[in-house]
Amino acid sequence: MPNEKNKHKVAIYGAGAIGGHLGAMMSKAGFDVSLIARGDHLKAIHQKGLKLITQDQEFVTHPRVTDDPSTLEPQDYVVISLKSYQAPGVVEQMQPLLGPKTTVATAMNGIPWWYFYKLRGKWENHRISSVDPDGTQWEGIGAERAIGCITYVASEVTEPGIVKTASPSYQYQIGEPDGSKSERCKQFQAMVTAAGIHCDIRPDIRRDIWIKVMGNVAYNPTSALTTAHTGAMLDDPSMEQVLRKLMAEVLAVGKALGANPEDRIDARLNTTRQRAASHKTSMLQDLERGRPMEIMPIVGATAELAKLVNINTPTIDTVLALVKLRAKMTGQLPSIGKN
């Protein structure tokens, strides 16, 4: 089906651990996919292609890759897989990719900038300053273009041009802010599925966002503070209790905002033990490589929304203060929007 697969143009903005995995899978499946990358990673993909190493295969693909979006035409789908703090800083450069019918899938950690778009009630269209402080994404991308995109893929860039994935399987959850099962979601689901990634269209994507954030808030900052992978933290009874408190506070915030995430703490911990016990979180990977850490869009945004709905989050607040200072002392606390 080469013609059908080339029917829709897809650009992946950020070809790192998640974007690189998706780009390699879609390229291998024959889709018209372009990657926006930079630096040594860009150079390596240009010269040697993009290598993906999984548990059961290893292959090299040669997708279109550039650091200049203006060399591409407007896309049907733009998947943003940057660090959340980087996203505001690339909105201007992204404009050539955005046509009147472009769909933007936000495949990033933390609370998405569009979270309150079409959320009925007193907070509808509320802006989250920890994620989009100047409204750059809301105004420059347009909330009407956005769909939610949650990824469960344990990957890392092991060296320029090479992405390694530890997950035995890959799962995406996508959804419209208003809960509808739109044609654009159905088409994106079909493409991702054809690339070999399980993809569900979710009727309440905000509920799923909170379940993902529950794990992000628990594992990411604590791994940066302890330098432990997830399994090591779960093997420590005292540390497991800290993780449980963090997860419970995240769920309380989500419920106060009307998302109704289920109390799935035990299930999440058990899944981690079974599938990702040796996985280093993205924040720990960034710490070890001297890169800025994705603190505010994950932990900071949760603390911000807790204050919005008057929920006490003492464990989150404590961990946020500790990990922010930890990052500040090593120059790894980014300003939102700076690459």
Phi first, then psi, for residue 53 (nearest 5°) are -115, 120
Contact in structure between 23 and 1 (CB atoms under 8 Å): no
The pair of structure tokens assigned to 74 is 């407007």
The three-class DSSP label of residue 127 is coil
Give the CA distances from residue 77 to residues 101, 119, 191, 250, in Å, rounded to whole numbers and listed in that order: 9, 23, 11, 31
> Which DSSP symbol is given to 123?
T
The three-class DSSP label of residue 75 is strand
Nearest of 253, 254, 250, 143 to residue 207 by alpha carbon: 254
Q: Which of 164, 212, 245, 280 is catalytic?
A: 212
Q: What distance in Å separates the CA atoms of residue 192 and residue 79, rounded to the nearest whole number?
A: 11
Which residues, listed in sequence order, are joined to residue 66 by a DSSP beta bridge? 36
Catalytic residue status for 48: no
The three-class DSSP label of residue 163 is strand
Torsion sign (Cα): 52, 55, 164, 149: positive
List the catalytic residues. 212
